[in-house]
Homo-oligomer: A and B are copies of this chain.
């Protein structure tokens, strides 16, 4: 079994940001030399997510509106008693999840034509990290 571990660093300018990281994951798979296996891609934080969906700006706007409706920014989260103000970012992370696992076949992401991997930041303007871990042969 072979494995490769890579860390990406993200510094967002905005509190919320959606960043397509499919190319970085594809590059890591190529670098690993792994032909058949699984690629794990995860946020190392609990206020940002990694998800798979379409690279379409209108849809990303829809996702942002939808997350705000289901997991709204509010002042009265109990989590804020710690001094934090990012309770909604934790809930948005739970809704979209921290990570995805992706199939690797013939040395490539084995995806359908519209699947793209996104990093979604909900508590940005600080340094964050993404881990890519590929295992296989």
Q: What are the interface flags for A77-114 relative to B under an 8 Å C-beta threshold, 1 for contact and 0 otherwise?
A: 11111100001001101111111110101000011101
Judged by a CB distance under 8 angstroms, whether A23 is at the interface is no
Judged by a CB distance under 8 angstroms, whether A10 is at the interface is no
Residues on the B chain within 8 Å of A62, using CB: 77-79, 87, 90-91
Contact B63 A94 (CB under 8 A): yes
Residues on the B chain within 8 Å of A75, using CB: none
- Number of copies of this chain in the oligomer? 3
Q: Contacts A46-B52, A77-B58, A82-B56: A103 and B131 contacting too (C-beta < 8 A)?
A: yes
Contact B77 A1 (CB under 8 A): no
Contact B3 A137 (CB under 8 A): yes
Interface size on A, residues (CB 8 A): 57
Contact A90 B53 (CB under 8 A): yes
Contact B135 A37 (CB under 8 A): yes
19 A-B contacts (beta carbon < 8 Å): A1-B137, A5-B103, A36-B135, A40-B101, A45-B114, A46-B53, A46-B54, A46-B114, A53-B94, A54-B90, A56-B82, A57-B78, A58-B80, A58-B82, A59-B90, A63-B91, A99-B100, A99-B101, A135-B136
